[in-house]
Chain A
């Protein structure tokens, strides 16, 4: 695993396997994933704005998990440029107090047989405000495209707000595209059930929120990174 520090440009050579962790971000990062390469990329984002651009070559696979905490906008753009390119780009965002953030993602299926999947999950408390803009572009002449995008957000307080703006531009026919967004509060029946077992309401809420976000974080293969991200998410939720 390689630690990236304020990197702005990165190329992963053909057929190379690479794992990156990024805790200190520059204001932008461009990644070129060459044909057949396999990349796993873990990012901690928050505080300042950041723009990520990833180009994914033929039969290459790029997997990203981002943990966003606090202020700062995040824009991500994925260009599935080569046939058979595969992109997974999951996000967990946690906001509290007066924090605000816009998370924008653009997935462009610019080649045949490209597959993208994105699961974005957020938890917003205090007077926090998050906006998720999720774009998927599939040009008219592209074939055998599979694009999935799901956004789920939990409002942890009365004054928290989340807004979801899907931007789907699907011009082709040979497409499988599942997308959806749901914004809600914690399930009252689940909270009640946990409390009947003696668990404090505060702890029950935290446990349910963590379980909700862990659907993304549990997918992190590297054990130490997963533990680190889950710990930071817990700290973010306790703020």
Chain B
């Protein structure tokens, strides 16, 4: 019986550069997992490969999500199946407001599911509640997507999108970086509120305090050189905290 999300021996490259080197990981429904690892170890690459970023070529391995072969689906199909990535560096989209963007995203899902488009009132309700909870002002919703926002505001807007789209599998790539202490709490709260037996999280972060206090994961993985080199519980956090990644990186090379 395969897990809810099962990544098996995944290999991927960008151009000539091999980045993922036989990565295996599985997550069950309702679980919160954390990935830690040195800069350049492949954490963002993994996130993007799971979403189907055409920059990366999968050269081996498999990914099964809710019983489907994820790698066979295109980017938007994966999104509609429930995969969501809060980007480490979200891209700017001049000329498209966040409100319009969210309307398109929600309606695309509804259309694919054979449902009617969301009416204006329904949409406004949905957006109002979530914007309020995550400290997103009307002004921020009217502005073009990510254009001119500070690093922390961009992260907050990624969290907001996650709340709007209610995905089943949320990958958060350094959502806490660039956020001030209060914003980190709001974001952490966003995750807490959204935790449910049908929803799983893969949280990438370098911030042990944030992981311990806000995320409270079920499992922790250490990634080095494009591979998972250690799986465990929160006790792994202590080890990383004390000794850094040096020990793990050696294992990966050996």
Contact = CB atoms under 8 A, between A and B. Distances in A.
Contacts of B185: none
What secondary structure prevails in chain A residues at the interface with B? helix
B105 interface: yes
Contacts of B84: 196
Contact of A195 (B76, B92, B93, B95): B76
A211 B145 CA distance: 12
Contact of A190 (B52, B53, B85, B91): B91
A188 interface: yes
Interface string B104-118: 110011001000000
Contacts, number: 75
Interface residues on A, range: 20 to 34
A218 to B, nearest CB: 8
A211 B105 contact: no
Contact of A211 (B55, B83, B87, B95): B95
A201 B109 CA distance: 13
Interface string A183-227: 000011110111111111101000110111011000000000000
Interface of B: 51-55, 74-76, 78-80, 83-85, 87, 90-96, 100-101, 104-105, 108-109, 112, 144, 161, 165
28 contacts: A188-B55, A190-B91, A192-B55, A192-B75, A193-B91, A194-B101, A194-B105, A195-B52, A195-B75, A196-B79, A196-B83, A197-B79, A197-B104, A197-B108, A197-B161, A198-B79, A198-B112, A200-B76, A201-B76, A203-B104, A207-B100, A207-B104, A208-B96, A211-B95, A211-B96, A212-B95, A214-B95, A215-B94
List the 10 closest pairs (A to B, CB-CB), nearest first: A211-B95, A195-B75, A197-B105, A198-B79, A195-B76, A193-B91, A198-B108, A189-B91, A199-B108, A198-B80
